[in-house]
Amino acid sequence: MKSLIKIGTVISYCTLDYRFIKLCTDQVRPFSSQIIIVSADHFFDGTPENSELLKKTYTEVHGVDMIGYKWQENQPKYWHNMARWIGLQYLKNNIDFVLFLDADEIADNKFNEWLERETFFSQYDAFLFLCYWYFREPRYRAKTWEKAGLLVRKNKLTRDNIFTTGEREGIVYSTLPNAALINGMDGRPMVHHYSWVRTKEEMLKKVKSWGHRDDIEWERLVEEEFKRDFTGTDFVPGHHYEYETIEPIHDIKLRNFE
């Protein structure tokens, strides 16, 4: 990378995203001066993490700082931001910008090319990225673009703007008007979001244990979804996107793991 800007990447991780974590880290490695993976010892519903799979992750993903923290009861919904806050504490002093990703968000190969446009970094404090959104399988991609991944100037991050119900978008609002919504130099997204690419069993585990588990009847929606072949739309509230079938961009194998 030609840019003199030093980027630290903080990845929020739980073992439900085990299949994505190595790909996630490999894709940010070319432009990251430091990579931090942060995970808790419990899921958001208080059930214990898969300690063996966490250990396996530690042995398979190299050249990163693995940071663990203890879950606490009665955490508010913005506990999703805890990993970002903790990761921030371990970043080196010379880091200029922080890239916040979830483990199921994969940066495109074009990301490095975009980063070399150094003029952007003098104009803005935060960059929120448009992304491709996938459902059930990596070959089903929404025709509507979503948002995933946030690059923000490190000295603009505070406890107050990290711990908001808006999560990463809450950080963006705190930097307005010096924030930009970004796609690639070719006008297409540079992030692939695989949050809902899962087997039925994995999807049920996700909706039972994540921070939004009480928002709606997720388990019923998952059960109904897998009674049939994919219909071309998803059940996620506020989405219900239409999907196209593509040749998968990444080699993501769908199989349950323990």
- Cα separation, 101 vs 168, in Å, equals 10
- The CA–CA distances, whole Å, from 78 to 32, 93, 241 equal 26, 26, 26
Residue 133's nearest CA partner among 243, 219, 21 is 243
Q: Given this model, what pLDDT does residue 71 score?
A: 83
- Cα separation, 42 vs 221, in Å, equals 25
Is 165 within a domain? yes
Is 141 within a domain? yes
Q: What are phi and psi of 77, to 5 degrees?
A: -60, -30
pLDDT, tens digit only, all 258 positions of the chain:
445 889 999 999 999 999 999 999 999 999 999 999 999 998 888 899 999 999 999 999 999 999 999 887 766 556 678 999 999 999 999 999 999 999 999 999 999 889 887 677 888 999 999 999 999 999 999 999 999 999 999 999 999 999 888 889 999 999 999 999 999 888 999 999 999 999 999 999 999 988 788 889 999 999 999 999 999 999 998 899 999 999 999 988 776 554
Q: What is the DSSP letter of 31?
A: T
Helix (H, G, I), strand (E, B) or coil at 174: helix
**Sequence-ordered list of residues with C-beta below 8 angstroms from that of 127, at least 6 positions apart, any chain:** 120, 150, 151, 152, 179, 180, 181, 182
Q: How far is CA 186 from the centre of its chain?
A: 22
Q: Which domain holds residue 61?
A: 7-193
Is 184 within a domain? yes
Indicate the number of domains in the chain: 1
CATH of the domain at 120: 3.90.550.10
Q: Given this model, what pLDDT does residue 2 score?
A: 46
Helix (H, G, I), strand (E, B) or coil at 153: strand
Token pair for 85:
């806050």
Is 26 within a domain? yes
Is 222 within a domain? no
Question: Model-level pTM?
Answer: 0.93
Is 240 within a domain? no
Q: Given this model, what pLDDT does residue 116 score?
A: 83
Q: Given this model, what pLDDT does residue 76 score?
A: 57
Is 172 within a domain? yes
Is 158 within a domain? yes
